[in-house]
Amino acid sequence: MNTLQINTTERSPEIFFDFDNNNFIIKGESYPEDVKEFYGPPLTKLEDYLNDLEDADVRFTFEFIYFNSSTAKILMGLFELLDEVAERGNTVSVIWVYEEDDDNMEELGEEFGEDLEHATFIMQAQ
């Protein structure tokens, strides 16, 4: 099985990339000491993989409780990457999961999602 898993810590999210099923999840809190150090290796692997992908069905789920501004920058890049993957003909669903009463996380999701032109964006309260 080709997967990449990083367990959650107090200040960094769980990352679960299931390359065999094109199912990707980032979940938790994100204000690591160094965002580039934390996100760099998994996202480089993801980018390399997605750049070669054709005719695939990709599902990417974001489920954040909190993230800082440095993480927001990483997320913006990731959204742009996912939209490019969709533009090349893949079917990409981006799912933004937020706590029902978390207006701020809902708003942030809308703000990230509104720039997607090719990927399908789904907001999901829970």
Partner 1 sequence: MLAETMMNFRNQLQEQGIAFCYCGFMTEDLLLGIGNTIKRKLEHSEIDKKKSKSVFSIFVEQMQNVIRYSAERETQVDKAELSYGIVSVGESDGQVFVTCGNVIEANDVPRLKEGLDKIKSLDKKGLKALWKETLKGETPEGSKGAGVGFIDIARRAEGGIEFDFAEIDASRSFFTIKAFI
In the list 14, 83, 84, 102, the residue contacting partner 1 (rule: CB under 8 A) is: 102
* Nearest distance, CB of residue 68 and partner 1, angstroms: 5
* Nearest distance, CB of residue 90 and partner 1, angstroms: 22
Cβ(66)–Cβ(98) under 8 Å? no
Q: Does 73 bind partner 1 (CB under 8 A)?
A: yes
**96 residue type, one letter:** W
Identify which of residues 60 and 64 has a Cβ nearer to partner 1 in the complex.
64
Two structure tokens written together for 56: 């695939």
62 DSSP β-pair partners: 26, 96
Q: Does 47 bind partner 1 (CB under 8 A)?
A: no
The full DSSP string for 12-60 is S-EEEEETTTTEEEEEEEE--S-HHHHHHHHHHHHHHHHHT--S-EEEE
Q: Does 95 bind partner 1 (CB under 8 A)?
A: no
Identify which of residues 22 and 71 has a Cβ nearer to partner 1 in the complex.
71
- What is each CA distance from 102 to 5, 24, 82, 88, 126, in whole angstroms? 27, 23, 25, 34, 10
Which of these ranges, 20-28, 42-50, 66-74, 87-95, lies near partner 1 under the rule CB under 8 A? 66-74
With CB under 8 A, what is the number of residues at the site for partner 1? 19
Please give the Cα distance from 40 to 32 (Å, whole number): 12
Q: Which residues bind partner 1 (CB under 8 A)?
A: 10-11, 31, 33, 35, 66, 68-70, 72-73, 76, 80, 101-104, 111, 115
